[in-house]
Amino acid sequence: MNPANPADQPIDEPVNNPEESNFGEILQQFELQQTVPVEPQPAEGGVLQGTVAAVNEDSIFVDLGGKSEGVLLKSAFADGVPDIQVGDLIQVSVTGRNAEGTLELSPLKVERPKDWSQLQAAFEEKRNIGGRVVEAVKGGLRVEVAGSRAFMPASRSGTRDAIELAKLVGQEIECRIINLDTVKEDVVVDRRVILEEEAAKAKEAAFLLLAEGTVVKGRVRSVTDFGAFLDLGGVDGLLHVTDMSWHRVGKPADVVKIGDELEVKILKINKNSKKVSLGLKQLIPDPWATAANQFKVGDRVQGTVARLTDFGAFIELAPGVDGLVHVSEMSWAKKVRKPADLLKVGDQVEVAILDFKPADKKIQLSLKQTLGDPFAEAVKKYPVGSIVESPVTSIQAFGAFVDLGDGVDGMIHIGDMVNEKRIDHPKDVVKVGEVVRALVLEVDQDRRRIRLGLKQLQPTKTDDFIAEHQVGETLTARVADVRSNLLKVEVADGVLGECRLAEEKKEAARGNAAKGSSSGGGSVDVSTLTAMLSAKWKEAKGGEPAAKTPATIKVGQVRSFRITNLDAAAKKILLELIG
């Protein structure tokens, strides 16, 4: 090809240069998978490409994408208005906004090399040049620059698809020479690199306009598991799932979708990483700020089960305000192992507020407190001294538990199971499921415990003895213990009675008699003196002492007694020594 005579080469045929075609195809294949840059958003001073939307006598209206439109005055063309039709692609620069807020545009002014030497200089200096797309060829486009036909691979055109590529034919474009072979008269140009640089400049300009705390509009560009990315006009911002709503969000896709136009607040800007954090919930009042006026400890409130965990259930009391019902506060009647055994997400429940810390955004709730305390009812139903008949629910080494109903258990200690003998394990007396009859021995409301006894309702040998004998009966029994003037007497096998001696009265009588005799005055009890003399005479003869005193009664002796009292309630047998 002769640079001075472009007519030497047919316009409608590609340059018949195998090496040129190979270079273009190799470059196109190498970059075919590169992502086409997103067209930059309008920024003042930036260079953009737009589509001619309308043309009138004075102006050209250009669609810049992203719902932005600019106006280009025809008077801005110094060399005359080119032939521009609706649908043409055109490169412009943004100069400002008019009174109506419409972007004001100016035609792109770029150098147009006139000969091969100027092409060489532009290549060496990596300057942008202007050119006109004349045709589409295999693998790309032909661009007329300085009277020469340059090749632009499709991958370096800056277009997304073949339709956009075809629209470039006939358009004035700005490009950069990436290969220049003066010997073979081979020129390859690149438009994409310019668009990328302009997009980067526009992004930087847009980034500098952002400020923390300001409210901006953005379009949802993509949605992930952790949030959504919004296009803020050339700059991406992340709306994290935790900043989408005051209430818990399961999936970001439940709140936003691609293409949504949102008004968001800029929470944080990292100038080094160019990351922007956004918030949606920050545009509405924090529900916890008003929760203190809505709820207080002791209240019973309605709520919805929002989510379940291994340790409890979170109940939504108001949008964005959740409280926790711990697993231990779910039921009086049974031990709940998993909250899911009792509740499911979406259930409407009534709960009581146990603790409320608005500053920490924590509310402790109880489900069982709203159901009534069965232990309080059990205390009324089973007072001390009452008798229960209930099944044994479990057996431990120290005792057995009995079901008193509504989740309330009574405990029978091993020491309260049987009378007059020792057992090794409660299972020797009772078994699980067996209905037992027991006496309520103690109720501890603080520890929520009810103690029961079995042996207290079982007849003893003493009971049997009392039932079989009457007051006034005489019997022969063995002295089991002597303590001062009190005798313990075994009246039957394993049955003890008590006998008190009248030692003090007899000693007092002896003292009185002696005093009366020595004084020579007053009357003397003749019977008392006779008894005293008789006792002395028997002792002198070596016979058995007649006095019935602790000193004369020994353990193991068998003596005669008379029953003076039988107390079945106290299980006591009172005796009188008669011989």
Domains of the chain with CATH codes: 6-191 (2.40.50.140), 210-283 (2.40.50.140), 287-371 (2.40.50.140), 382-457 (2.40.50.140), 461-577 (2.40.50.140)
Question: Mean pLDDT across the stretch 388-417?
Answer: 89
DSSP 102: P
Closest CA to 499 of 482, 486, 483: 486
Task: Report the 10 Å Cβ neighbour count for 94.
Answer: 20
Which residues neighbour 46 within 8 Å (Cβ) at sequence distance 6 or greater? Answer: 40, 93, 94, 198, 201, 202, 205
**Cα–Cα–Cα angle for 229, 232, 236, nearest 5°?**
40
Question: Mean pLDDT across the stretch 23-46?
Answer: 45
User: 348 near 302, Cβ under 8 Å?
Assistant: yes
Give the HSE-up count for residue 17: Cα atoms under 13 Å, Cβ half-sphere: 17
- Whether residue 401 has pLDDT greater than 90: yes
Cα separations (Å) of 62 from 42, 50, 134, 271? 12, 6, 22, 33
Phi and psi, residue 268, nearest 5°: -155, 145
Distance, C-alpha 561 to centroid of its chain: 79
User: 351 by DSSP, 3-state: which?
Assistant: strand
Confidence class for position 277, pLDDT limits 50, 70, 90:
very high
Amino acid 44: pLDDT? 53
Element (DSSP H or E) covering residue 495: strand 495-500
Q: Where are the alpha helices (DSSP H) in 223-344?
A: 287-294
Distance CA 234, CA 249 (A): 28
Question: Mean pLDDT across the stretch 525-531?
Answer: 46
Question: Mean pLDDT across the stretch 185-208?
Answer: 86
Cα separations (Å) of 536 from 249, 510, 523, 533, 545? 108, 12, 22, 5, 9
Burial environment of residue 62 by CB neighbours within 10 A (0 to 12, 13 to 18, 19 or more): buried
Provide the angle, in degrees to the nearest 10, between the axes of the packed helices 526-540 and 503-519: 100
- Whether residue 31 has pLDDT greater than 50: no
Token reading at 248: 């818990």
pLDDT digits (tens, 9 = 90+) for 62-108: 887 766 788 888 877 766 677 788 888 777 777 777 777 788 887 76
Amino acid 337: pLDDT? 80
Beta strand pairing call for 387-396 and 435-444: antiparallel
DSSP 421-459: S--S-GGGT--TT-EEEEEEEEEETTTTEEEEESGGGS-
Distance CA 331, CA 320 (A): 26
Task: Report the 10 Å Cβ neighbour count for 402.
Answer: 25
Least confident of 192-201, 498-507, 536-545, 558-567: 536-545
Least confident of 67-71, 151-155, 483-487: 67-71
- Whether residue 544 has pLDDT greater than 50: no
DSSP 26-82: HHHHHTTTSPPPPPPPP-TT-EEEEEEEEE-SSEEEEEEETTEEEEEEGGG-TT---
pLDDT, mean over the chain? 80
Which residues neighbour 297 within 8 Å (Cβ) at sequence distance 6 or greater? Answer: 353, 354, 355, 356
Least confident of 195-199, 295-299, 312-316, 531-535: 531-535
Distance CA 96, CA 91 (A): 16
- Whether residue 406 has pLDDT greater than 90: no
Amino acid 67: pLDDT? 66
Closest CA to 153 of 190, 118, 119: 190
Amino acid 523: pLDDT? 43
- Whether residue 564 has pLDDT greater than 50: yes
pLDDT digits (tens, 9 = 90+) for 215-258: 999 999 999 999 999 998 878 999 999 899 887 788 899 889 99
User: 176 by DSSP, 3-state: which?
Assistant: strand
Cα separations (Å) of 450 from 353, 437, 548? 28, 14, 49
Question: Mean pLDDT across the stretch 127-135?
Answer: 89
Distance CA 320, CA 306 (A): 11
- Whether residue 485 has pLDDT greater than 90: no
Amino acid 41: pLDDT? 47
Amino acid 547: pLDDT? 46
